[in-house]
Structure 1
Amino acid sequence: MAELPLIDEVAQASRRSGLAADPSELHGALCGWLSGGGENAANWPARVLADDSLPAPEPDSALDELRKASVAQLDDRGFGFELLLPEIDDSLNARADALFDWCRGFLGGFGLAAGANPPLSEEAEEALHDLARLAQAAPESSDDDEDEHALAEIEEFVRVAVLLLHGDCVLAPRHRQSLN
């Protein structure tokens, strides 16, 4: 199973490359791009962030590893896909904020790759709308166990929604192509 690089490594590599997105939002944008049918390209930041002036990540850098791991995880039939989010020891608000940033990034990347009318099932259409609602959310100050549980449930929902969208836009067309 391909492991995502550490969030701090992605943050440092992102700053060195002059990317304005934080690591969670950047990973969301990459996953949105890939889930919408965007090309798995070495110069992915330029495509995903719609800025042709951005450099391609160095081979085997944290940003290159982020791309490779994300592609492998999205294609993994064992549902091993993970979101790049802060560690559990960060505050609940910081983790919720990062999750909402991840969703905002995902929607941007997905829209760029999939276009205005992607071939979505009813379930995937609903999941996309739910992701859009999450992208508009903001965390409320709290640190109780109930909120911790709710955040874990939302993370799991996002993970499954992404796999559903990737399935409709990438895996289903790939499967149809192999049948022809």
Structure 2
Amino acid sequence: MPQLPTADEVAEASRALELGATVPELHGSLCGWLAGGGEDTAAWLARVLADPAAPAPPSGSALDRLRQATATQLADGEFSFQLLLGDDDQPLRQRAQGLFDWCRSFLGGFGLAAGAQPPLSEEGAEALQDLARLAGASVQEIDEDEEEDESALSELEEFVRVAALLLHGDCVLGPRHRRTLN
């Protein structure tokens, strides 16, 4: 199974292409695009950034590997999907903001691919609403109890990971399964 490139590799590739998007924003947009039924294509940047002038990442580059690994992880029945939010050694506040940025970008990519009325289950609709709430959140002051905040952030990351898989299941795997049955 293809491995996600590191956050540093994605950040460097983004700078090289002068994209102006952070690692969580790029990965969130890509995940939303794929989860909403968007085409897995080498020209994904133009699609998820809604910019036809955006270049296709060179084959084998960090951004190309990001697309390949993400598409594989989303389709994998073993729940291997991971969020690429940045370095784990960043301060808690920065990692939390990265998660909110990821959610906001996920919604943008998802909306571009799935449209206004995606075929969502009740659980999928709730997950999408919860992601929208997280996308609108901002980081509050960090308490004295950083261990509790670390635990809360881990729980939020796991929720977001599962929500993305659920939405991918509703919009991509479900319709694909129904087509094979017919």
| TM-score w.r.t. length of structure 2 | 0.97
For the residues of structure 1 that align with 2:63 and 2:74, how far apart are their CA atoms?
Answer: 16
**What is residue 177 of structure 1 aligned with on the other side?**
179
Runs of 5+ in structure 1 lacking a partner? none
Give a deviation string over 1:26-60, Cα, whole Å, max 9, x none: 10000000000000010100000100000000000
Structure 1 distance, partners of 2:2, 2:27, is 15
Please tell me the residue identity of whatever aligns with 2:103: C
User: What is the alpha-carbon distance in structure 2 between the residues aligned to residue 9 and residue 87 of structure 1?
Assistant: 11
Q: CA deviation at 1:17?
A: 1.2
Please show how residues 159-178 of structure 1 align to structure 2 within 5 Å. Answer: 159-178=161-180
Query: Which consecutive segments of 4 or more residues in structure 1 shift more than 3 A?
Result: none
Tell me the secondary structure at the aligned position of residue 86 of structure 1. Answer: coil
Deviations 1:85-126 (A, max 9, x none): 123221000100100010011000000000000000000000
2:64 & 2:88 partners in 1: Cα distance? 25
Give the distance between the partners of 1:141 and 1:12, measured in 2 at CA.
30
Shift of 1:15: 1.2
Contact kept, 8 Å, 2:2 with 2:65, in 1: the verdict is: no
C-alpha distance in 2 between matches for 1:2 and 1:127 = 27
Equivalence for 1:154: 156
Report the equivalent of 1:68: 68
Deviation at 1:21, TM superposition (A): 1.2
Paired with 1:102 and 1:74, the residues of 2 have a C-alpha distance of 16
Measured in 2, the distance between the counterparts of 1:18 and 1:129 equals 32
**What's the counterpart of residue 3 of structure 1?**
3
Gaps of 5+ in 2: none
Amino acid corresponding to residue 163 of structure 1 in structure 2: L
After superposing the two structures, state which structure 1 stretch, 30-39 or 87-96, moved more: 87-96
Counterpart of 2:172 in structure 1: which amino acid?
Answer: V
Counterpart of 1:116 in structure 2 is 116
Residue type matched to 2:157 in 1?
A: E
Pick which of 136-145 and 95-104 moved more.
136-145
In structure 2, give the amino acid aligned to 1:166: H
In 2, the alpha carbon distance for the partners of 1:94 and 1:39 equals 31
2:23 touches 2:86 (CA, 8 Å); kept in 1? no
**CA RMSD across the alignment:** 0.9
Give me the whole-angstrom Cα distance separating, in 2, the residues matched to 1:86 and 1:29: 15
Aligned residues: 180
Amino acid at match of 1:89: D
In the alignment, is residue 106 of structure 1 matched against residue 106 of structure 2? yes
- The Cα shift of 1:2 comes to 2.6
Q: Distance in 1 between matches of 2:24 and 2:126?
A: 23
